[in-house]
Structure 1
Amino acid sequence: MNARAIIIGSPRSGSGKTTVALGLMRAFRRRGVQVKAAKAGPDYIDPAFHAAACGGDSVNLDSWAMPPDLLAFLLRQAQEDADLLIIEAAMGLFDGAGEVDGRRGAAADLAALFGIPVALVMDVSGQGQTAGAVACGFVHYDPRVRIAGVIANRVASGRHRLLVEQSLQRTGLPLLGALMRSGAPDLPERHLGLVQASEHQNLELLLDQLADAIERQADLDGLLTAAKPVESGPLSSNLSVALPPPAQRIALAQDEAFSFVYPHILAEWRRAGAEILPFSPLADQAPDPSCDLCWLPGGYPELHAGRLAASNIFLNGLRAFARKGAVHGECGGFMLLGQGMEDKQGVRHAMAALMGHETSFARRKLNLGYREARLMAECPLGPVGGMMRGHEFHYATVTPGNDEPLVDLVDGQGNLIGPSGGRRNKVTGTFFHVIAQQ
């Protein structure tokens, strides 16, 4: 099925894209439209909300990290069995990294490459007629990116709505929605973004409230008409893979502390015949000793450090596993592999001690951005010299141990960061989250 698609973009972060996107997903689903979702760029948290709103997995589409044929393949998959594909942008519509046209990680890349129109969510608080001038800039900035209309967010009154609508008439753009300032609930946040979907006690009620607000204040028929079939073209016969399965049987840590793993990678492992056996460190479960590899993804271990430190069955089982099988940790998983973790109150909690580093959230430092990694040793990510792209996003400071580094990193602009991560025997880890090999 060649589904219609639309991108929900905005001029900047904090404009209300996620709120609008979730409300639209749930509202269309309630109408009987088969909705699927995607997220432009690197993000673990928003796609989990998408999945709850749509009733199915949301995929990440990252034009910087993913080779073009893999990007087209995942977009084609996202359209299967769908009437409408809603793609939520990240940051501002044109925000990305690097200088390679079409591979900057911006949602605008998807719009230009695949002919997907954009519904522009604009926070119009504190402005009236200026909204039209801002929208006009988006219309003319890149002729390959078609702006289908504007959804005005945080509108103060009926008069305010009228001013915005009149200003848009000069651009030829329709007003596809006007969401009142008090018309929808806010989504709670923490230091890496939204509070995870799995932690909401009343998530279904929240999604229904967002859909109610969208149905009252947005033009659903107009948005559905604005969405267009994707121009994906033929797929390459030499399709890239994001990351080959690192083992046949994989023990995967999966709970509220370790949830940051990309669905497209797990789907690829399963397609290739790998068996994935989830376990929960927070429930004091050990990795299945019959597995060949234990994968510890990122997440929020710092919020559960005391509980993890007291999970003796898990920690002893992990140490026993590491004596015979490979263990790899990404970001939060890498933190757990170290000697200890200091929480934001300055309390130190002993960790697995399979590597020599210590991490701290009492001395916070933001590490954020795209990364290209070259492997300095063979590991579950690939052979020596293997190249891959992904990102870092954490606030931890690190006291290094005496382990050998795992990867050599450059940032999204090509600036050298240098050796990072660590390796010791069969245990490896890094703050780098892989999205796709190159």
Structure 2
Amino acid sequence: MIDPPGLMISAPSSGSGKTTVMLGLLRAFTEDGLSVQPFKSGPDYIDPAFHRAAAGRRSFNLDSWAMDADLLAAIAAKAEGADLVVAEGSMGLYDGVATRGATGWGSSAETADRMGWPVLLVLDAGGQAQSAAATALGFARYREDLPFAGVIVNRVASPRHERLIRLGMEGVGLPVLGVLPRRGDLTLPERHLGLVQAVEHPDLDEAIAAYAAFLRAHADLPAIRAAAGRRAVADGKSGRLPRPPAQRIALAQDAAFSFTYPHILEGWRAAGAEIQPFSPLADEAPDPASDLVWLPGGYPELHAGALAAATRFRSGLRQHARTRPVHGECGGYMVLGRALIDKDGERHRMTDLLGLVTSYEKRSFHLGYRAAALTAPMPGFQAGARLRGHEFHYSTILEQPDAPLARVSDADGNPVAETGSTRGGVTGSFFHVIAEAGR
């Protein structure tokens, strides 16, 4: 399969402005009549929804630590019919983990190399001038085999600052494809897990349109498009997206439950599963005809009071759990527990399907890839299955009396205490499943 030409938007580190550039390019090229396929390198839960809002096409994660070659090819095949691919990296371009996973170490550079997408480096030039060229040159030459499209220089303070930066870049032969003046108003609101969710942004379309106008005024869009590249990859039709864990799946979807990997849902739909969204925050019960209730991650700690008061939701979920399975990931796992303590120390009753008690008042940072060997079955997987996933939250477990769901380790094989829980047909874990290992 020959994919459309593409680019990887990356940076030396987080906070350099690559999401603003990504959304601006997606919208600008879409406004020009192109069909643009977005991707996200790495396990980010939030950015794909922003990408979809900017480009009008579903965005998918590509993850070299968690995904084997067949799954990567199947996801890359979602670019079929597009004119251009624009992918957004995670953290810094070469950042990954120390121990190799399914096909690599999880860096954006690996994704760019595998797909043949030249890197467009977004460089924050605050506090430096000609020295910015030394930073960019280091990234361009760190891997000589990695295609490099050029640099967009961000947060430039003045015309003099721009002249000095361009002199440095010209001196080392690096193309400058954009120079973005410092603009404090072109930032997306954030909270403790990163950006606010796309569904919560009050003026998202207006904000993305402003990013597109900003990129048009200060970047060379024809040159950026011309720099896109591609290579032949394995036929995506031979790969397989994740299989659905049931035929009729009641999926919690609202501001408290929104972190579901797009390739997971795409796989479920492609196999003919019926996904039935419902909103616990609106006190909706899952469809009584559903075979499975799935509570994804999100921000239940910000809505604990509303969830505690959602009696129809709790009653419907408990009724379902008497005869059919329920699974929760991260935030969904917390809601399946007995209680959730919010940042102010107030204790809120949850659904009590598991004995779990979690606290957001006693915050502890949990971040990283997870490898899990199931010690009990969960929807879609038998005991003994090996899974790869990711964990990202600040909540602390105060009580976890139920049987563990899995033996869990980090990317380097070190044991992780958050093993998940199982009680009857109810299961939950703090890790979000990305793929089954060994596929």
**Matching of residue 50 in structure 1 with residue 51 in structure 2:** yes
SS at match of 1:170: helix
* TM-superposed deviation, 1:263: 1.2
Contact 1:67 1:240 in 2 (8 A): no
Aligned counterpart, 1:112: 113
Instruction: Give the 3-state SS of the residue equivalent to 1:19 in structure 2.
Output: helix
SS in 2 for 1:298: coil
1:146, CA displacement in angstroms?
A: 1.5
What root-mean-square deviation, in Å, do the aligned CA atoms of Structure 1 and Structure 2 show? 1.4
Q: Structure 1 residue 235: deviation in Å?
A: 4.8
Q: Structure 2 length normalisation: TM-score?
A: 0.96
Q: TM-score when scaled to structure 1?
A: 0.97
Q: Whole-Å Cα distance in 2 between the matches of residues 155 and 283 of structure 1?
A: 45
Partner residue of 1:178? 179
Q: State yes or no: 1:402 paired with 2:401.
A: yes
Residue of structure 1 in register with 2:90 after alignment = 90
Give 1:400 shift.
Answer: 2.3
**Other-structure match for 1:190:** 191
> Tell me, what secondary structure is at the counterpart of 1:299?
coil
For the residue of structure 2 that corresponds to 1:69, the secondary structure is: helix
Measure how far apart 1:240 and its partner are. 4.6
Aligned-partner Cα distance in 1 for 2:295–2:237: 33
Measure how far apart 1:57 and its partner are.
0.8
Measured after TM superposition, the shift of residue 236 of structure 1 is: 8.0
Q: Does 1:15 align with 2:16?
A: yes
Contact 1:241 1:437 in 2 (8 A): no
Alignment check: 8 A CA contact 1:98 1:414 kept: no
Q: 1:233 to 1:143 in 2, by over 3 A?
A: farther
1:339 and 1:111, CA in 2 relative to 1: closer, same or farther beyond 3 A?
A: same
The corresponding residue for 2:272 is 273
Question: CA 1:199–1:59 in structure 2 vs 1: closer, same or farther (change >3 Å)?
Answer: same
> Secondary structure, in 3 states, of the residue corresponding to 2:304?
helix
Deviates most, 368-377 or 179-188: 179-188
Query: Residue 36 of structure 1: CA displacement?
Result: 1.4
Contact 2:342–2:361 (CA under 8 A) maintained in structure 1: yes
Partner-residue secondary structure (3-state), 2:303: helix
Q: What does the per-residue CA deviation read over 1:217-276, in whole Å, with 9 as the maximum and x for residues that have no partner?
A: 011011001011343244584x3543x211111111011110111111111111112111
Kindly indicate whether the alpha-carbon contact (under 8 Å) linking 2:362 and 2:395 is maintained by their aligned counterparts in 1.
yes
Question: Within 2, Cα distance between the matches of 1:99 and 1:335?
Answer: 30
> How far 1:183 moved relative to its partner?
7.1
Question: How many angstroms apart in 1 are the aligned matches of 2:313 and 2:404?
Answer: 26
Q: 1:319 to 1:68 in 2, by over 3 A?
A: same
Identical amino acids, percent of aligned pairs: 53
Distance 2:188 2:87 in 1: 19
1:135–1:171 CA contact under 8 A, matched in 2: no
Residues 133 and 172 in structure 2, CA contact (< 8 A), matched pair in contact too: yes
Alpha-carbon shift at residue 192 of structure 1 (Å): 0.3
**C-alpha offsets along residues 295-323 of structure 1, whole Å, 9 cap, x if unaligned?**
00000111111001001000011111110
State the partner residue of 2:138. 137
Are the aligned partners of 1:183 and 1:213 in contact in 2 as well (CA < 8 Å)? no
Q: Could you report, residue by residue, the CA deviation over 1:41-91 in whole angstroms, capped at 9, with x for unpaired residues?
A: 0011111100000012101111111111110221122x2121111100000
SS at match of 2:16: coil
* Greater mean alpha carbon deviation, residues 152-161 or residues 223-232: 223-232
1:426 aligns with 2:425: yes
Residue 165, structure 1, aligned to residue 162, structure 2: no
Aligned: 1:127 with 2:128: yes
Q: Distance in 2 between matches of 1:155 and 1:259?
A: 36
* SS of aligned partner of 2:416: strand
1:272-311 alignment, distance < 5 Å: 272-311=271-310
User: 1:374 offset after TM fit, Å?
Assistant: 0.6
Deviations 1:99-120 (A, max 9, x none): 4395111110012222210000
Indicate conservation of the 8 Å contact 1:407/1:419, yes or no: no
Tell me how far apart the structure 1 counterparts of residues 418 and 124 of structure 2 sit (CA, whole Å).
Answer: 41
The amino acid of 2:199's aligned partner reads: S
Count, aligned residues: 435
1:318-333 matched pairs, under 5 angstroms: 318-333=317-332
Structure 1 CA distance for aligned equivalents of residues 40 and 376 of structure 2: 32
3-state DSSP of counterpart to 1:252? strand
Report how far residue 143 of structure 1 moved.
1.7
* Contact 2:115–2:230 under 8 Å retained in 1: no
**Once the two structures are superposed, what CA deviation does each residue of 1:304-349 show, in whole Å capped at 9, x if it has no partner?**
1100100100001111111011000000000001111111111111
1:70 counterpart residue number: 71
Match for residue 373 of structure 2?
374
Contact kept, 8 Å, 2:7 with 2:86, in 1: the verdict is: yes
Gapped runs of 5+ residues in structure 2? none
**2: CA distance between counterparts of 1:46 and 1:89?**
10
Q: Which amino acid aligns with 1:137?
A: G
